[in-house]
Structure 1
Amino acid sequence: MTDADRPILLRDARLLGVDEPRDVLVAGGRIARISARRMLVVPGVPELALDGRTLAPGLWDGHVHFTQWVVKRERVDLAPADSATAAVAIMRAALPTSDARILVGYGFRDALWPDAPSLAALDEIAPDRPLMLISGDLHCGWLNSAAARLYGLTLPEDGMLRETEWIGALGVHDRGAQPGLASYRAAAADAARRGVVGIVEFENQDNATIWPERVAAGVDSLRVEGSVWPERLEEAIGRGLRTGDRLDDAGLISFGRLKIVVDGSLNTRTAFCWAPYPGLDPADPHSYGVQAVSPEQLVGLLRRAHQNGIAPAVHAIGDQANTAVIDAFEGLGIPGIVEHAQLVAAEDFERFGRLGLVASVQPEHAMDDRDVADRHWHGRTDRAFAFRSLHEAGATVHLGSDAPVAPLDPWLAISAAVSRSRDGRDPWHPEQTLPVDLAVSASARGRYTIAEGEVADLVVLDADPLTATATELREMPVAATMLGGRWTWNDLEGGL
């Protein structure tokens, strides 16, 4: 008998939205019974007293780049850099502390910097050692000449690569710098400690092969839906893979969706918008952002995937990008997920609902980017990160992190969605807040409470999220996490 098969009776649990405590029997990896307190007697079954703690559905992160999240811990932290000069100083200080062949920093956000990056500045501190600085949104990189020589790249004077050229360079680097399995196990265990039972994986790799191998090697704290990118679509079709297919014996890994990226990002000023970015020539098409995939290409990819049972998830951040994606879904008459949906044209909210689209959003990005949006999307922020408008229009809302862009911690997303505030600042566009019950269910695949017969993916909380403040939500104490009837985290009795 496996751990998941062993029954356990959870006594005195408070379910979300239910006044009186309940007892919950878990057996065979599912919720077998829910009864009034002390009304359920199951001889021989071990019991665990929850003592009035909240028992809720386990949480999902709807958008993760897991390898990037794992390796973030090994990279120089550039988040504190408030200028190009500061970023260079951080890298200079890190040079003698690392013996890595290429020194990699992560997390700079240059949209509000008072000075500009330059190739010369990096070459000055490291003329012969490769340096790679990765932006916090993963959409651009700042390299020195030694790194360009290593990867066979030609750099502009500022040393910056953006979008397609940059993503290709990052992919080459990552293939030669994969972390070990112990790092993946640790990151998955950390997610379980925050109540996470599953992730939607958007790393650009052969997820259908790599993730079952990881589970077999002991990375088994999470369920994973693994996406496929366009360059591997035909291979997936040839293998007969369809969205929802189970890919491993443990039932943790499933084949996910086709991930298509049609534009860039706000911080890199490449999100594809109807209005130009401030200070740029409106006659220059690049001033509106980057259209990475043409409407014709998008329709072709969506049609090919749909015909072969592969559902889509399309990255769209700028309002013109979102319009193009909605047009494609509407023209083909198929459902889908829009990843990010950060800036939406006023007339497109209604179409989200009418077409039954899912808006997969990352509320913590609104807290990270509120000042950037105020500058670069000035006059349009009433429809930026517009979670309530999407919900009220009838869109299904999923919450995620886009880790490593924001931490893999659903409580941060829930808090940001509910409060539109962080670090004591006034709420930013508070009319776009979500009610806490909706934010919780949007982080739990639409589940708000638990029911008999469901898979026992559960989280035990030491506080009630329905009455918690924004700060308390961010710091939500997680006492235990259960995945299919087995504990992946349990601090109720001193650990597992």
Structure 2
Amino acid sequence: MKKLLLLVAISMASCAPNKITVDLIVQDAHIYTINDTFSKASAFAVKDGKFVAVGTSDEINKKYTSLKTITAGGKTIIPGLIDAHCHFYGLGLNQQIVDLVGTKSYQEVLDRVQEFQSNNPVDFISGRGWDQNDWEVKEFPTKIGLDALFPNTPVALERVDGHAYLVNQKALDMAGITSKTNVSGGEIVKEKGQITGILVDNPMGMIDAVVPKPNRATQIQALKDAERISISYGLTTVNDAGLDRSTIELIDSLQQAGDLSIRVYAMVSNTPENLDYYLNKGIVKTDKLNVRSIKVYGDGALGSRGAALKEPYSDKPGHFGAMVTSVADIQNLVDRIVATDYQMNTHAIGDSANVVVLKAYAEALKGKGDRRWKIEHAQVIAPEDFDYFELGIIPSIQPTHATSDMYWAADRLGKERVKGAYAFKELLKRAGKVALGTDFPVEQVSPFLTFYAAVARMDTDNYPEGGFQMEDALSRREALKGMTIWAAYSNFEENEKGSIEVGKMADFVILNDDIMTVRKNSIPNLTAEQVFIDGIKVN
């Protein structure tokens, strides 16, 4: 009898299909796959850094086995989040300078600079994050306070948007800037013929030329700091909007050595040296790095009145802002880049800058196929210019700009013109896709604030009641796609990431709550409990 039972057991085992061994099984989860039908799943299997199966827990466990299984207990899982426009390297460097974000007065700026220099004495003081629009006195500060405190130490304090400096006299002297200096594409602000210390857009380059460059150890630490912060929020890919060749190559070397896990879509900064190298070299692509785009600045920022407008600023008669890159140079760049495989990604804030770039794109891209050129920000669009986005041009937008600017945007633009600003829904309707990012460190790093601003269009104090220009809010599904599959598409990477599907990179995030159903005012409190890149836990 025993012999018979043994034979039956052997026979049953031989008839049962052998399970496939994989590296990781995740089960009992609430998974938003973000596939074409936005379907849900409860489990998936990962092998060699890729999703090899997605389905129910029963389906996965019947076919696969693994020494490592995560039972998620019904937790929500989404694809790894993509920030379609940020300054990743800049975020890391900012960890080593004066943090001026959230200052409520110029005096608080001065106090923070003094404290920093007292604790971290340096030969050249740098800082970033002030915004005069958050102060009771909403005018640009002057260098008088800095000159009094630091007569012999150069100081350069960058505005939150990265489009203006406040510098002291020592820094001006080092840069050779006087009341007679003229630089196109920006402004050296003066009062009664005297330099105030405020430099907007292109003149900032003269200060950059004298700021000490970080050494390699500092650069590496900056990249690691930026990765740590980004991954903690569930970001697995970041689009850095403007990097030089040396930084791109450093990122690549760290990724290849296993010292940097995050994926980087590197937009090459528009300099002659960078363009000569990369446009001749062609696309650079690894599993972690993608170099196939050129970042160009069309104009400045709205907050510093550097954005180029068709009509004067409502709160500064006769002032139109300025093109940082001239119309002729934009056209030359378009002609040069369209002859290569590279994508052109152009910063355009004001309606004048947007139409200049859109017209140049539209003409150059005729008959050129699927090029996916982007407008970075697409912030203020005249009603007659939205049609250009129907030509395959992708709006790369940052929803938190709307909720940061909404307090004063109508002052800059007027009640009518502001209706064409931060028009996310209209842009989506015309383009079919929008790529969402933060523009950090201009804004906070959290992609959950991006999601909240896109769907609620309120600040974290629930202001304004009912939301800001809600006709242009995105749905939750649209916002999540903008942070995953549409962002991947904008990078030519939709076949390798952006959704939880078989064959794609196993980048995913386990959330503390359901991003699609949690109460709207709880969205900013979402957290990334666990983050995986290539199926490996990185946070």
TM-score by length of 2: 0.82
> How far off is 1:409 after superposition?
2.1
**Partner of 2:422 in structure 1?**
385
Distance 1:408 1:273 in 2: 29
Measure the CA separation in 1 of the matches of 2:308 and 2:215: 31
Is 1:194 the equivalent of 2:233?
yes
Change (3 A) 1:331 1:97: same
- Following superposition of structure 1 onto structure 2, how do residues 430-469 of structure 1 map, counting pairs within 5 Å? 430-446=470-486, 449-469=499-519
Distance 1:168 1:312, change over 3 A: farther
Cα–Cα, structure 1 residues 174 and 420, in superposed 2: closer, same or farther, change >3 Å? farther
For the pair 1:241 / 2:291, whether they are aligned, the reply is: no
Q: CA 1:140/1:395 → structure 2, altered by over 3 Å: closer, same or farther?
A: farther
Q: Cα–Cα, structure 1 residues 177 and 469, in superposed 2: closer, same or farther, change >3 Å?
A: farther
Alpha-carbon deviation of 1:20? 7.1
Residue in 1 that maps onto 2:183: none
- Provide the C-alpha distance between the structure 2 equivalents of 1:392 and 1:27, rounded to a whole number of angstroms: 38
Give 1:180 shift.
4.4
Match for residue 470 of structure 1? Answer: 520
Amino acid in structure 2 at the alignment position of 1:205 = D
Q: Secondary structure at the match of 2:434?
A: strand
Classify the secondary structure of the residue corresponding to 2:515: coil
Q: One-letter code of the match for 1:158?
A: T
Q: How many angstroms apart in 1 are the aligned matches of 2:75 and 2:103?
A: 41
82, 90, 112: which one pairs with 2:104? 82
Which amino acid counterpart does residue 413 of structure 2 have in structure 1?
W
Counterpart residue number, 1:414: 451
- Report matched runs for 1:331-350 at 5 Å: 331-333=363-365, 335=371, 336-350=373-387
When the two structures are aligned, how many residues end up with a matched partner?
Answer: 474
**Are 2:479 and 1:429 aligned?**
no
Deviations 1:181-226 (A, max 9, x none): 2342232022112111101112342144232123245442211111
How far apart, in 1, do the equivalents of 2:248 and 2:214 lie? 20
Name the amino acid aligned to 1:137. Answer: D
In structure 2, relative to structure 1, the CA distance for the partners of 1:6 and 1:187 (3 Å cut) is farther
Structure 1 position 73, deviation (Å): 2.3
Q: Which of 322, 325, 346 is the equivalent residue of 1:314?
A: 346
**Structure-1 separation of matches of 2:269 and 2:499:** 34
Report the alpha carbon displacement of residue 115 of structure 1 after superposing the two structures with TM. 4.4
Which residue identity lines up with residue 387 of structure 2 in the other structure?
A: E
Match of 1:106 in 2: 128
What residue in structure 2 maps to residue 65 of structure 1? 87
Q: Decide whether the 8 Å contact of 2:131 with 2:159 is kept in 1.
A: yes
Distance 2:322 2:225 in 1: 36
Q: Distance in 2 between matches of 1:384 and 1:177?
A: 40
2:526 partner amino acid: M
8 Å Cα contact 2:308/2:323 also seen in 1: yes
* Cα distance change, pair 114–268 in 1 and its aligned pair in 2 (3 A): closer
Please list, as runs of the form range in 1=range in 2, the aligned pairs for 1:79-478 lying within 5 A after superposition.
Answer: 79-111=101-133, 113-154=137-178, 157-170=195-208, 172-173=210-211, 175-176=213-214, 179-206=218-245, 207-216=247-256, 218-231=258-271, 232-238=274-280, 240-242=281-283, 245-247=284-286, 251-282=287-318, 287-333=319-365, 335=371, 336-352=373-389, 354-379=390-415, 380-422=417-459, 423-426=461-464, 427-446=467-486, 449-478=499-528
1:111-146 Cα deviation digits (max 9, x unpaired): 463444222221111111221111000001011112
Would the aligned equivalents of 1:15 and 1:449 in 2 still touch at CA under 8 Å?
no
Contact 2:299 2:349 in 1 (8 A): yes
Q: Normalization by structure 1: what TM-score? A: 0.89
CA distance in 1, matches of 2:290, 2:317: 46
**Contact 1:188–1:219 (CA<8 Å) still a contact in 2?**
no
Q: Is the 8 A contact 1:12 1:21 kept in 2?
A: no
SS at match of 1:374: helix
| 1:114–1:485 Cα change, 3 Å | closer
CA contact (8 A) 1:263 1:292 kept: yes
Output the amino acid matched with 2:30: R
Q: Contact (CA 8 Å) 2:22, 2:66: kept in 1 or not?
A: no
Identity rate, percent: 24
CA distance in 2, matches of 1:306, 1:57: 32
**For the Cα contact (< 8 Å) 1:181–1:217, is it kept in 2?**
no
Q: SS state of the match for residue 38, structure 1?
A: helix
Q: How big is the shift at 1:14?
A: 1.2
Over aligned residues, Cα RMSD in angstroms?
2.3
Equivalent residues of 1:184, 1:219 under 8 A apart: no
Tell me what 1:492 maps to: none
Partner of 1:16: 32
Change (3 A) 1:149 1:45: same
Alignment-mate amino acid for residue 329 of structure 1: Y
Deviates more, 1:394-403 or 1:133-142: 394-403
Using a 3 Å threshold, how does the CA distance of structure 1 residues 237 and 322 change in structure 2: closer, same or farther? same
Q: Look up the equivalent residue of 1:241 and give its one-letter code.
A: G
Matched position secondary structure for 1:396: coil
For 2:150 and 2:29, how far apart are their aligned partners in 1?
Answer: 58
Q: Structure 1 counterpart of 2:393, which letter?
A: L
Q: Shift in Å at residue 398 of structure 1?
A: 0.6
> What's the CA shift string for 1:58-109, capped at 9, x where partnerless?
1111112122211222222323333434433443444423312122221111
Aligned to 1:493: none
Q: What does 1:37-76 align with in structure 2 at a 5 Å threshold?
A: 37-39=57-59, 40-41=61-62, 42-76=64-98
Aligned mates of 2:407, 2:418 — CA distance in 1: 10
Name the SS for the 1:187 alignment partner. Answer: helix
Distance 1:363 1:172 in 2: 34
CA distance in 2, matches of 1:166, 1:177: 21
2:282 partner amino acid: L
- Looking at structure 2, the residues matched to 289 and 219 of structure 1 have their Cα atoms a distance apart, in angstroms, of 43
> Which amino acid is the alignment partner of residue 254 of structure 1?
N
Cα distance, 1:229 vs structure 2:
2.3
Question: Structure 1 counterpart of 2:223, which letter?
Answer: Y
